[in-house]
Chains A and B, each alone.
Chain A
Amino acid sequence: MLEKIKKNRFLFEELVKRDFNKKYKRTILGIFWSVLSPLMMLLIMKIVFTNFFGRSIEHYTIYLFCGNLIFSFFSESTTQGMQALVANASIFTKVNVPKYIFVLSRNVQTLINFAITLVLLVVFCLIDSVFPTWKWIFLIYPVCLLVLFNIGVGMILSALHVFFKDMEYLWKIFTQLLMYLSAIFYQITSYSETVQYLFLANPVYLFIRYFRKIILDGVIPTPEFHMLMAFDTVFVLLIGFWMYKRYNHEFLYRL
């Protein structure tokens, strides 16, 4: 696979450049808008929920920011990844290229967005006097896994999107529901222990929780927690690659 990427490096770079140019329309303001949207979300949540949850949660702004950062990265990457195959059908029905590079190129683009927002999180932390410790190095782990996780989900969705054109709407509804189930603006401690365990079945929540543990609690999660995240990631990646392998030629009939 790495060899194939190497061989197609030029195409990959051009695709990333194209997606980037199209998204931001060649303006600095374009990037500004895409950073502004999570910040607005943060502001609204802060205003609305501070009265309900903010009093019992310390550093509530940072708490919200962690949730929003992870969740918007997840939902943007997977939505972009989902459309990658259908949007590039005119390319891969004409030339012989590995199809996953379209998903990868979309993910590179959302990663840039994520990185900028991540810097903003650090700025917010400093303002809220939450200071970085050496443990923050561990944040590399959830970031890397989340990138892979998004690629995996993106591959699965993009394959499904070829088969079912209404996946876009279904996924939009699903992510909206998932957002409320990801404890972005509330704490799960108010639920019974059984329910709290159920939250662990939501991979996105795991990533959010990892961030909060490191940044707000200054605690490195348990090895089991690391393994659970790795398991989820490998699981979706395997399904994604399997679907691409299985339906690689089938895609052509349907586009």
Chain B
Amino acid sequence: MAILEVNDVSIRYKTGDIRDLGLKDFVLKKIKGQYNVKEFWADRHITFSLDKGEMLGIIGSNGAGKSTLLKVVSGIMEPTEGRCIRRGNVAALLELASGFDGELTVKENAYLRGAMLGYTRQFMNEKYPEILAFSELKEFENRPFKQLSSGMKSRLAFSVASMVNPDILILDEVLSVGDGAFRKKSEAKMHEIINSGAATILVSHSLEQVRNLCTKILWLDKGRQIDFTNDVKGACDKYQAYLNGDRSYVESKTAIQ
């Protein structure tokens, strides 16, 4: 049985006059009839499944609906239509460096992040030395987080998150973390997790990375599913062609829909 099943999922998103709106603006706009909220489908009829040990690469240009789809997979959002079935625990590493608190120390932030990821305190106590060693932040342990460079922040984020043994691991643009040496280390760690039998979802703008790591490809374009296939090389080649300006494949796919 597949560990993750996404079944005809559609997600409707709202934009328009809903962010940073004051009550005053709201009332004024309502009176003038200028209040408009646009709804659009961030994802439409997405279907895929993932087994243990598989790694799915999601490709697509900005605004394709990748991040929104991941929010549904990780359970932060509910799909407007369709179903998402998870048979295991999910660890999502979305936009790593955010969600930390600049006033807190490295140690406190590590614990907070661990708590956010659903670890127990006992687990954190056990793993904390390992996290510190892996992120190479030993000498910064009690420094406020705001004094760290952004590379260091991502390193900590990755180190905390990679301590899990999730059944489903979601990586959104996280492999491009830190300098060359750390990247190698993190990729090795990633392989370790993948090989331990987790189903992994990778979103990356580096097509090279997707080619090297993934066993399945999901291609999204403006919320529509262009492809879901085992043929990683074929899909990547087509995507590369699309990026170079050849829209024929995407058009042929969307024409059917």
Separation of A255 and B71 alpha carbons in the complex (Å): 14
Separation of A253 and B112 alpha carbons in the complex (Å): 24
Q: Which residues 67-100 of B have a CB within 8 angstroms of A?
A: 71, 74-78, 92, 94-95, 98-99
Query: Knowing A10-B120, A91-B116, A96-B75 touch, does A166 contact B103 (C-beta < 8 A)?
Result: no
Chain A to chain B contacts (Cβ below 8 Å), 10 pairs: A10-B121, A14-B108, A22-B104, A90-B98, A91-B99, A95-B92, A95-B118, A166-B24, A167-B23, A252-B77
Q: Which residues 142-179 of A have a CB within 8 angstroms of B?
A: 163-167, 170
Residue A18 CB within 8 A of the other chain: yes
Contacts of B71 on A, CB cut-off 8 Å? Answer: 93, 252
Q: Known contacts A18-B101, A95-B99; can you find 6 more A-B pairs with CB under 8 A?
A: A11-B116, A21-B108, A96-B74, A164-B21, A167-B23, A252-B77
B104 engages A93 (CB within 8 Å): no
Separation of A138 and B92 alpha carbons in the complex (Å): 48
Separation of A19 and B124 alpha carbons in the complex (Å): 20
Q: Which residues 89-138 of A have a CB within 8 angstroms of B?
A: 90-97
A17 engages B108 (CB within 8 Å): yes
Closest to B123 in A: A10
A165 engages B103 (CB within 8 Å): no
Contacts of B121 on A, CB cut-off 8 Å? Answer: 10, 13
Q: Decide if the interface of chain B is mainly helix, strand, loop or mixed.
A: loop
Q: Which residues 67-106 of A have a CB within 8 angstroms of B?
A: 90-97
State how many angstroms separate the Cβ of B124 from the closest Cβ of chain A. 8
Of B12-20, B50-58, B187-195, the stretch lying at the interface with chain A is B12-20
Contact of A10 among B15, B75, B115 (CB under 8 A): B115
Contacts of B20 on A, CB cut-off 8 Å? Answer: 165
State how many angstroms separate the Cβ of B101 from the closest Cβ of chain A. 6
Residue A55 CB within 8 A of the other chain: no
B76 engages A252 (CB within 8 Å): yes
Residue B117 CB within 8 A of the other chain: yes
Residue B242 CB within 8 A of the other chain: no
Separation of A184 and B230 alpha carbons in the complex (Å): 72
